[in-house]
Structures are given as C-alpha cells and as structure tokens.
Amino acid sequence: MPDDANPMQRFSRTAIEDFMQRCFVATGVPSDDAGTIAHFMAESDIMGKDSHGIFRLPGYLKRFQAGGFNKTPNIRVEEERTATALVDGDNGLGHLVIKYCADLAIKKAKQTGVSWVGVHHSNHAGAAGAYAMLPLAHDMIGLYVAVGSANHLPPWGGTKSLLSTNPIAVAVPGMEEDPILLDMATTVTSYGKVKVHAQRGIPMPEGWMIDGDGNPMTDASLSDSGYLLPIGGPKGYGLALIFGILAGTLNGAAFGKDVVDMNADQTSVTNTGQFIIALDIAAFMDVDEFKRQIDDVVRLMRSSPTLPGVESVRMPGEGSFAAIAERTANGIPLPVPLLDNLRNVAGELNVAPLD
Amino acid sequence: MPDDANPMQRFSRTAIEDFMQRCFVATGVPSDDAGTIAHFMAESDIMGKDSHGIFRLPGYLKRFQAGGFNKTPNIRVEEERTATALVDGDNGLGHLVIKYCADLAIKKAKQTGVSWVGVHHSNHAGAAGAYAMLPLAHDMIGLYVAVGSANHLPPWGGTKSLLSTNPIAVAVPGMEEDPILLDMATTVTSYGKVKVHAQRGIPMPEGWMIDGDGNPMTDASLSDSGYLLPIGGPKGYGLALIFGILAGTLNGAAFGKDVVDMNADQTSVTNTGQFIIALDIAAFMDVDEFKRQIDDVVRLMRSSPTLPGVESVRMPGEGSFAAIAERTANGIPLPVPLLDNLRNVAGELNVAPLD
C-alpha cells in the first residue's frame, strides 16, 4: 500500500500484468486463465484500488500452491433459465469465475433485457467495480455484489462478527462524461484500511470501529477485538445482510458463520458467492439519449454549490477515472517493500522479475 | 402521526380500508382501483408505517380533486422484452401503478427466472415494503426502488438539494420465521420524521441534518434551510444517485431538478419513476431448502451476543411484523387530530365516516 514514508517505483500496466501472468503460469495456471486473472488484478491497480491489485499476488500464489484455489477449474452453468443462471466456479479464482459470469449475463441480457447470474464455489475477485464495468461496452448497466471474504461486522447491536463488508458496485455509462461507478462496502470502512492504519501506527477516525462495549475504537492495533460499523447503523446492517443472502445463501454459497477467511486459511474451499446483473439500456430507452441524460445528471450534480471547505462535488468513480488517467500516463506506483516481496516471488518461481 | 400527548382511537383494518375506498370512489376513482389503493394504504397502516397510510388520505384526495392525479389511468406496457418492461403509469396513483408492475414482474419472472419492470408517469406509492413483499406469495424475492417525491438531499459536499431519500425495499421469505424485509431510505432519516419533530417542537439528534455551513442542525423548525444527510456520507449519496438513475432516468421519469414536490404542488404531473425486480428462487435453489436456510440465517443473527444496553439483535422488518400482529389483534391506532380531519373529509365527500 502507498505510504508517504516509503518511496515508490512506477511500472507500466503492461509490465505489471505480464509479470503477474508469468507468476500464475509458473504456479500451474493455464496461460489464458493466468492472463485473465492478471488483467483484472492490473485493472484494480490502474483504477487506484491498490489493495486489490498486484498487492494480492503473493497471497494468491501462496493459496494456489497450498491447494486452496483450483488451478484448472471447470467453470460451468449448473442451473439455467432464460434470464438467470447459477454458475459453479469449481473453486477457481474469482477474477476468472466472475468474467465467465459477466459474459454469460451480457449474452442473456441481450435476449431478455435483464439477466441475473449467481455463482457459488467462487473465490475472492478483487475490485468489484471492474466487473460492474464489463456490461458498459455492450450498452448495458452493470451491477455486482459479493459476499466479503472475512467477517468483521456483527448484526446491528450485536457483538459476534457474522457478516462481511459485502460490497456492491454499479456502473452506468455516460456519453462524453466518464461512467458513474459506485463501488462501496456496506461498512463505513474496509478491514483493509484498518490494517493499513495498524501497520502505520496511526489512529483511526471515530466511526470506523467500536469495541465490545460499543465505544469508539481508534487504536487500529486492537482491531481484532473490535467490530466494523455498518453505514447508517441498522440500514447498513440490513444491506450487508440482504446482499449476503442474495450473493451467498441463494447461490448455495457460504454466508454467516460459514464464511472462510481466505487470508487466515490457505487450504479450505471458501465457497464464495457473488452475483452480477446486466441490464440492457435499449430495453427501456434510446441508448444515446440515455447517455446524454447521464451526462446531464453528472453536470447537474457538479454544478451544486458546496459546503465551506469543499472544492467541488464529486461523482462516484471519479477517483478511479482520475487514477486511470494519471497511472496510464505515469505508470502504476508500487512501494519498495512490496517490490522486495515480488522479487522474492519471482526468484522462487524462477520467472523474470518485474524490474 | 402517533404522539404520546394525543389520545389514540383504534379501528379495524377493514374499517379503515373500506372508509378510504369510499372516499376515493366519491372522488371519482373507479371502485376496483379505489379498493387497490385503499388496500396498499391500509397495508402501510397495519405494518406501522403510519406516515404512508390513512395519514395520506386527505392529501391524496386533494390532489385527485385538483387534477394532479389521473382518476382513470390507462396503465400500459410501453416497451417490452422477455424479462423487462417499461410501463406508462398514465399519472395514476402509485399504489395502482406499482401493483400492475409487480403483477407483470411476477408473471415474467415465472418464465425467465428474473424480471425488471420500470415505470414512468407514476406517482407516490406509499410504503415501499408492501410492494417488495408481493413476489413472496409466488416463492420469489422482491426488490423495489423509488425516486422520492421531494428533494431534500444534496450531492455529498454540496448545498443544493438535487436528490431525494430514494428508498429501497427487499423482501426475502423464510419458512417458519417471518420474511426478512429491508425497507430503508438512503438518508439517515426521512423528511417526514423531521416534520414530526418540527410539529412537536422537539430537537432532532445530531446526524440527521446539517445547515448550509455543514454544521449539525438539531432545530427541526429550521429544516427548510437545511439538508438531510445520506447514510455513510458519500456512500449513501452514491446509492441515492444510482437508485434515482435506475428508477428515474432509465425509465424516462423525473430525476434531479425535475422532481416535483407532490405536497407543495397539487396539479403538476410528477412523472414519478420506480422499478420492481422479481427473482424466482427456484431458478437457483430448491424453494423449501432456501426458506429453511433463511430461517437459519435469522436465528443465527438473533443468537449474537449484544452490546451493553441492547436487548437483542433485530431483523430488518421485525418491527413491521410485530405491528401487523399487534394491530390485527387490537386495531390500528389513529390520533384524534387526524380523525377530526377525516371526519371533515367524510362530510365534504358525503360518505359514511370512519367512526
């Protein structure tokens, strides 16, 4: 993760993507699949979602080597209706599995107007926004929901972490403006951000976590004994619960106490659940007219006067599109400790290093 | 609205529903349609959503009389695909329009597994949860989203109210347990609750609203110069925005600056947009097995130990089902000032009064 105290070295997206593909291939993942996984991981990096990109490579490789992920999954449709499918991810890495689901959802929505593809026996898939964006190229709106890969959220008022951050991502295309890309956890912050604060020894803002007595927790080093807070109290709890049921329970995937913490357990099948919806704009409205209206919405929101100290109103996804522009031009910055780690990985796998 | 200082009088659901139907018929609404509207309004009352039930009757009647609602709408499908439809509500009252959309969504989902029905030229439809519940009788999950009928929410960091509370409701059936029914605004509180605080002269909690400088606003009498806060800051703003686009823009319905405040304007067509999704459980899993698993989820959440001062973990919708049980047994409590108002309404329309 970026840190002001650590110098950064920048790499092109291609260099990062190729390196990741080499590593996966050397671990036994077929070349095409390795390329798909590397693509979506690099997509996270270019979008500025650093905690879901190459940062995850060592952990993913370790779990592949330990047998926790299936290197050669037979991803397939298990149940199907005209507008729906239940996919078996066969314990493949999520990036691969969700790409399969998204392609299927897009194909179905072309015929039916909308489709809903759920999956079980999937795994962690990285940045949700990358998948919600896939239908855009087909003039569709994308919506993606996942069961998070570790439970740090109790039901509202409770003290047992039975829920995860269960994120939602929705992407809506504009004409001249960037798409609107909402990509959010149902908790105030992600556990990843908490861990970064712990690593750096800096206090968390009040409102991120509470302790077992319900008091605000600001010392991130104590986070194992604390609880994430949902957005809007009982409302965020309700969203996390419903998203978990729709992405998990309905798909026969893990939810609640059955969720496996991928980082704490290298070998157990996580049976992760996700779903993706593709919604064909043309089923409701002329596509160009819709995109022009989205441009109007974006400009209208940005035209709002602002509170003191606020420079301008931002659109959901604005940070990601700014990162894409900056990082495409200047490269993706990686911190030195991560680079050291990646050099070791390359050595162990006997592949050409990143640098 | 209930108030400890005001005595309540209780009425059976049937009495309330019949009275509302009489009033609508006397205003020129066909008897069947009047019955449907009265049914969904009484559904709000029995579920404890007092601000969406008979409390709204005088306002709705006034708007019917002023020509703001169409008494005899020709609700019809305007665009259609196998799994989608765009419905024209022809400016009918929302209760009638959304019932039409829900029936269509259920019919479609039986064939396709999932359906998405959007609507424009609809109107205020009352309690969102009542519509999300409709698919349950068909062993489907229901999801309903509406563009709120007045803008009190600025984009995050902004000071122009361009968004409404844009609510979402999702209903998931259990076997022995009550359904899980999430029914929430994307704002911390509804503007209705703010108005109740203003009426009673009691302060609002911090976190509900801010003033134009971004400071907490607790004096509800100043609410016209303040702004509702979204849940989770930019996240709730993102949800309100996306829900508004999906329920409004995509359907050719009003969104942003075009939203008409139904209570401030008796005659303009509101062009309200909503959408409903029906998701057939059997397309993913054995229905009984799913319902049993939902029972397990409910019991698991309730089994969580609690924070000091919290008696038990509650499920989304628990309050509504408790209200249904209590009010079915004891009647629906109505405050005396509302009853006075309803007596006047009955007199003006020359229909038999409620009491």
Question: Structurally, how many domains does chain A consist of?
Answer: 2
The ipTM (two decimal places) reads 0.96
B144 close to B276: Cβ distance less than 8 angstroms: yes
User: Is there a domain that residue B326 lies in?
Assistant: yes
| CB contacts, 8 Å: B132 with chain A | none
CB of A215 less than 8 A from some CB of B:
no
Q: Are residues A163 and A106 in the same domain?
A: yes
Write out the two tokens for A266: 């290298």
pLDDT of A5: 59
Residue B325 has pLDDT above 70, yes or no: yes
CATH number, domain with residue A338: 1.10.1530.10
pLDDT of B4: 55
Write out the two tokens for A47: 């979008």
Residue B1 has pLDDT above 70, yes or no: no
CB of A153 less than 8 A from some CB of B:
no
Q: Stretch B107-127: mean pLDDT, rounded?
A: 97
Q: What is the CA radius of gyration of chain B?
A: 20
Residue B5 has pLDDT above 70, yes or no: no
Distance from CA of A192 to the nearest CA of B (A): 17
- Could you say which of B115, B212, B231 has the minimum Cβ distance to residue A236? B231
User: Is there a domain that residue B220 lies in?
Assistant: no
Whether residues B184 and A290 touch (CB distance < 8 A) is answered with no
User: Is there a domain that residue B297 lies in?
Assistant: yes
- Could you say which of B116, B239, B310 has the minimum Cβ distance to residue A157? B310
Whether residues B232 and A118 touch (CB distance < 8 A) is answered with no
Domain of residue A334, residue span:
1-65+317-355
Q: Are residues B278 and B159 in the same domain?
A: yes
CB of A300 less than 8 A from some CB of B:
yes
Condensed to tens digits (0 to 9), the pLDDT of residues A217-262 reads 999 999 999 999 999 999 999 999 999 999 999 999 999 989 988 8
Q: Are residues B258 and B128 in the same domain?
A: yes
Q: Are residues B85 and B127 in the same domain?
A: yes
Whether residues B79 and A284 touch (CB distance < 8 A) is answered with yes
A248 close to A119: Cβ distance less than 8 angstroms: no
Instruction: Indicate the pairing of strand A216-217 with strand A209-210.
Output: antiparallel
Q: Stretch B181-196: mean pLDDT, rounded?
A: 92
- Could you say which of B114, B214, B251 has the minimum Cβ distance to residue A114? B114
Distance from CA of A39 to the nearest CA of B (A): 27
Which pLDDT band, with edges at 50, 70 and 90, does B196 fall under?
A: confident
CB of A303 less than 8 A from some CB of B:
yes
Residue B2 has pLDDT above 60, yes or no: no
Residue B213: Cβ within 10 Å count = 10
User: Is there a domain that residue B198 lies in?
Assistant: no
- Could you say which of A112, A159, A210 has the minimum Cβ distance to residue B112? A112
CB of B313 less than 8 A from some CB of A:
yes
CATH number, domain with residue B292: 3.30.1370.60
Q: Are residues A32 and A126 in the same domain?
A: no
User: Is there a domain that residue A161 lies in?
Assistant: yes
Residue ranges of E strands in chain B: 8-11, 76-80, 84-88, 114-122, 140-146, 168-172, 180-184, 209-210, 216-217, 227-228, 272-280, 332-335
User: Is there a domain that residue A217 lies in?
Assistant: no
pLDDT of A16: 98
Query: Would you call B90 exposed, middle or buried from its count of C-beta atoms within 10 A (0-12, 13-18, 19+)?
Result: middle
**Which residues of chain A fall below pLDDT 50?**
1-2
Closest residue in B to A293 (Cα) is B249
Q: Are residues B32 and B172 in the same domain?
A: no
User: Is there a domain that residue A332 lies in?
Assistant: yes
Q: Are residues A48 and A82 in the same domain?
A: no
Condensed to tens digits (0 to 9), the pLDDT of residues B73-82 reads 999 999 999 9
- Name every residue whose Cβ is closer than 8 Å to that of residue A108 and which is 6 or more positions away in sequence: A82, A83, A84, A85, A115, A117, A278
Residue B304 has pLDDT above 70, yes or no: yes
Condensed to tens digits (0 to 9), the pLDDT of residues B43-89 reads 999 999 998 999 999 999 999 999 999 999 999 999 999 999 999 99
| CB contacts, 8 Å: B245 with chain A | 172, 180, 294, 297
Assign A277 to helix, strand or coil: strand
How many Å is the maximal CA-CA distance in chain B? 56
User: Is there a domain that residue A70 lies in?
Assistant: no
CB of A309 less than 8 A from some CB of B:
yes
Q: Are residues A298 and A245 in the same domain?
A: yes
Q: Are residues B24 and B125 in the same domain?
A: no
Q: Are residues B328 and B284 in the same domain?
A: no
Distance from CA of B319 to the nearest CA of A (A): 12
pLDDT of A1: 45
Distance from CA of A62 to the nearest CA of B (A): 32
pLDDT of A6: 61
- Could you say which of B81, B154, B185 has the minimum Cβ distance to residue A304? B154
| CB contacts, 8 Å: A238 with chain B | 182, 184, 316
Closest residue in B to A308 (Cα) is B213
Whether residues B300 and A182 touch (CB distance < 8 A) is answered with no
Q: Are residues A165 and A109 in the same domain?
A: yes
pLDDT of A2: 45
What is the reported pTM?
0.96
- Could you say which of A242, A283, A290 has the minimum Cβ distance to residue B81? A283
User: How far does CA B167 lie from the centroid of its chain?
Assistant: 8
Condensed to tens digits (0 to 9), the pLDDT of residues B230-240 reads 999 999 999 99
Q: Among A228-242, B159-173, B195-209, B266-280, which stretch is predicted with the lowest mean pLDDT?
A: B195-209
Residue B255: Cβ within 10 Å count = 29
CB of B113 less than 8 A from some CB of A:
yes
Q: Are residues B235 and B263 in the same domain?
A: yes
Nearest to A92, CA basis, from A14, A29, A48? A29
